[in-house]
């Protein structure tokens, strides 16, 4: 895709899997001049520079954002508001701030309100990545074929929205605009709840037969793969999407209760009906 813009300086706040992949993808497509990284661990930033992911780095978020044309928030979402407060006075007029957080909802409006005059914010959520994190897993094609949800508000700058949408399309993603609250409802069900279930399932097995977990086969490994994801990241996601998750956990308990009742009654037909219903729904995924 041809673009009519590029950024002289891009700042990535949080050089992990997504942030580093974003930087690599921008470089590959000639969308940036230089990339400055920020993070809590200097060792990681040094390695990112050695790998050519970033050109330089700062250990102070505000300093990292000085003269940046585009700023990407890619730390755990629980830090977004704090970082936005730290960098707001360093952002130059005309800059665009965006993010890759899996929580939107009220957070989008709170971040938007923290932007100084002349700075545009557009919320995004690329559905990419894996249970593995860090710059060693970063790659320029991570977003190719992935869905990217963009969550504009009534106050969003039209030009900035178009630029952000074009960036993700240029990186190979399929973009879709969505209301921020709707985003959180959907991803609570298809992403956030599954992570909680995976953590709970591993803890359940660890509590009942901890010494035997090493005998788990591919089914258990596949089912619980996402329990290898960052506890810090998913702690923040869970708390920020608390209301949706509490509702879904109640619904999950209801469904487990139905299966439990069939088991108590040795109701083979009832058990099979529940499993068949789930199988039919699962087949709808491509």
User: What is the third-level CATH fold of 7-178?
Assistant: Rossmann fold (3.40.50)
Strands 96-99 and 120-126: what pairing? parallel
Beta bridge partners of 72: 12, 98
Select from 182, 160, 171, 189 the least CA-distant residue to 247: 189
* Predicted TM-score (pTM) of this structure: 0.91
Where residue 281 falls (left for φ over 0; alpha for ψ -120 to 50; beta otherwise) is: alpha
Select from 137, 170, 176, 154 the least CA-distant residue to 47: 137
Q: Using CA atoms, how far apart are residues 175 and 172, in angstroms rounded to an integer? A: 9
Residue 169 CA: distances (Å) to CA of 25, 85, 129, 262: 11, 29, 17, 48
Superfamily of domain 182-282: 6-phosphogluconate dehydrogenase C-terminal like domain (1.10.3660.10)
Q: Virtual CA dihedral for 34, 38, 43, 49, nearest 10 degrees?
A: -10
Largest CA distance in the chain: 68
Residues ≥6 apart with Cβ < 8 Å to 28: 140
Per-residue pLDDT of the chain (286 residues; tens, 9 = 90+): 445 578 999 999 999 999 999 999 999 999 999 999 999 999 999 999 999 999 999 999 999 999 999 999 999 999 999 999 999 999 999 999 999 999 999 999 999 999 999 999 999 999 997 666 778 889 999 999 999 999 999 999 999 999 999 999 999 999 999 999 999 999 999 999 999 999 999 999 988 876 778 888 999 999 999 999 889 999 999 999 999 999 999 999 999 999 999 999 999 999 999 999 999 999 998 6
Q: Using CA atoms, how far apart are residues 150 and 164, in angstroms rounded to an integer? A: 9
The residues spanned by each domain of the chain are 7-178, 182-282
Q: Under a CB-based contact definition with an 8 Å cutoff, are residues 142 and 100 in contact?
A: no
Helix (H, G, I), strand (E, B) or coil at 184: helix
């Amino acid at each position: 895709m041809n673009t009519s813009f590029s950024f002289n300086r891009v700042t990535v706040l949080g050089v992990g899997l997504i942030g580093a992949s974003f930087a690599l993808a921008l470089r590959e497509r000639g969308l940036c001049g230089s990339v400055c990284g920020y993070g809590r661990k200097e060792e990681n930033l040094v390695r990112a520079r050695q790998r050519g992911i970033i050109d330089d780095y700062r250990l102070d978020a505000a300093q990292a954002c000085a003269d940046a044309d585009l700023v990407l928030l890619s730390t755990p979402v629980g830090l977004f508001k704090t970082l936005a407060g730290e960098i707001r006075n360093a952002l130059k007029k005309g800059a665009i701030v965006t993010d890759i957080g899996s929580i939107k909802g009220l957070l989008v409006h709170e971040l938007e309100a923290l932007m100084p005059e002349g700075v545009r914010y557009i919320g995004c959520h690329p559905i990419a990545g894996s249970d593995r994190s860090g710059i060693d897993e970063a790659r320029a094609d991570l977003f190719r074929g992935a869905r990217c949800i963009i969550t504009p508000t009534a106050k969003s700058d039209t030009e900035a929205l178009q630029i952000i949408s074009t960036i993700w399309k240029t990186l190979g993603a399929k973009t879709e605009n969505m209301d921020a609250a709707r985003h959180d409802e959907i991803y609570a069900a298809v992403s956030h709840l599954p992570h909680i279930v995976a953590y709970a399932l591993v803890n359940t097995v660890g509590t009942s037969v901890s010494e035997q977990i090493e005998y788990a086969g591919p089914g258990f490994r596949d089912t619980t793969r996402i329990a290898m994801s960052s506890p810090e990241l998913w702690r923040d996601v869970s708390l920020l999407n608390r209301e949706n998750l509490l509702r879904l956990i109640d619904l999950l308990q209801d469904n487990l209760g139905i299966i439990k009742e069939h088991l108590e009654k040795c109701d083979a037909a009832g058990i099979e009906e529940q499993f068949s219903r789930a199988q039919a729904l699962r087949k709808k995924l491509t």
